[in-house]
A and B are shown apart, each in its own frame.
Chain A
Amino acid sequence: MIKTRRLAFAAVLISIMMVLGYLESFLPVSPIPGIKLGLANSVLIISLYWLGIPASFQIMLIKNVLLGLLLGNPMLIPYSVSGGILSLALMSILYKRRGISPIGVGITGGVAHNIGQVLLAMIILGTPSLVFYLAILMPAGAVMGFITGTVARILMGHFPPHKHLKRQTIIQTEETKP
């Protein structure tokens, strides 16, 4: 029963993230590539607090692959996945520590997402000088992360998690999905 609840909740979170990612693709393209709001990260932060680390990694991977296929740019899936992995890894380390609120988690996630993408681009394109691009991307990621973290905090304050979600069980059926 708990597993089913968690599975259903994870599926809802993935669909919310897909819709947010799809809507964001309609926003005007910024002249500085790599800067975007990343509202889906709010949902991922909530998933981290409510469903735990393994489920959040699964949700992140499924969302990135599906959204990449949906928006028709499978070439860029490795970039969003590398950003997602680094971002979620750092958020996982931080989110339970004392003195850190979802806002700090959001800032870390936003910045780490940009670092992960730029690192992969540096490797694939063979351009180490891209590291200086982070001088612009990191503050942008921090601002966007502040926003997504604040949204996550407000939402979690208004909708306390169902008590059955709190049990730390891993969603096993999710693995066969993508």
Chain B
Amino acid sequence: MKRRDIIILVIVLVASLTLYLLRPKAIEDPSAVAYLRISIAGQTQELIPLTEEREIRIEQNNGDYNVIQVFEGGFRMIESNCYNQDCILQGEVTVDNIGSRALANEIICLPHQLVLSLVTEDETVLELEP
């Protein structure tokens, strides 16, 4: 390790720490209704209130499919025909565990360009404005 190697390392660590401190930690208003936002390739497809248990199957034209399990206050990916199954390994997102997840409020299936995010009503309204 030379002098500038250490400078590079310090820059990286400071940048990471800054992002870590700025990251979304929890839903601020606990009484707000939480929604599941489903988006494919950056386009919001559906908003589902997280109030009752149900399963949602998403099929795309090219044969890609994902199955989401929705329950009160959260959701998880339970099935996908993508090759790496990363989305299933990402576990569940709930109103309470956002701060402790690497991907915070999101589950991402990269091969299918599918993003599931947990959003509150305010955020939802913001996102829906054209």
Chain B residues within an 8 Å CB radius of A107: 5, 8-9, 12
* Residue interface bits A113-147, CB-to-B below 8 A is 1, else 0: 00000000100111101111111101101100000
The distance in angstroms between the C-alpha atoms of A163 and B103, with both chains bound, is: 48
Chain A residues within an 8 Å CB radius of B115: 125-127
Chain A residues within an 8 Å CB radius of B102: 31-32, 133, 136
A29 touches B8 (CB 8 A): no
Chain B interface, DSSP helix/strand/loop, else mixed:
mixed
How many residues of A are counted as interface, with CB atoms below 8 angstroms from the partner's CB atoms? 37
Among B15-23, B50-58, B73-81, the stretch in contact with A: B15-23
Q: Using known A-B contacts A31-B91, A124-B113, A135-B20, determine if residue A100 contacts B4 with beta carbons closer than 8 Å.
A: yes
Q: Using known A-B contacts A100-B4, A103-B5, determine if residue A132 contacts B19 with beta carbons closer than 8 Å.
A: yes
Looking at A97, A131, A136, which has the most chain B CB atoms within 10 Å of its CB? A136
30 A-B contacts, Cβ less than 8 Å apart? Answer: A31-B91, A72-B83, A73-B83, A75-B111, A76-B110, A76-B111, A79-B110, A98-B4, A100-B8, A103-B2, A104-B4, A107-B9, A124-B42, A124-B113, A125-B42, A125-B108, A126-B42, A127-B106, A127-B117, A131-B19, A132-B19, A132-B23, A132-B24, A133-B102, A133-B103, A134-B19, A135-B17, A138-B12, A138-B19, A142-B13
Q: Using known A-B contacts A31-B89, A108-B8, determine if residue A125 contacts B83 with beta carbons closer than 8 Å.
A: no
List of 10 A-B pairs having minimum Cβ-Cβ separation, nearest first? A126-B42, A104-B5, A135-B19, A99-B4, A135-B20, A132-B23, A33-B86, A138-B16, A100-B4, A101-B2
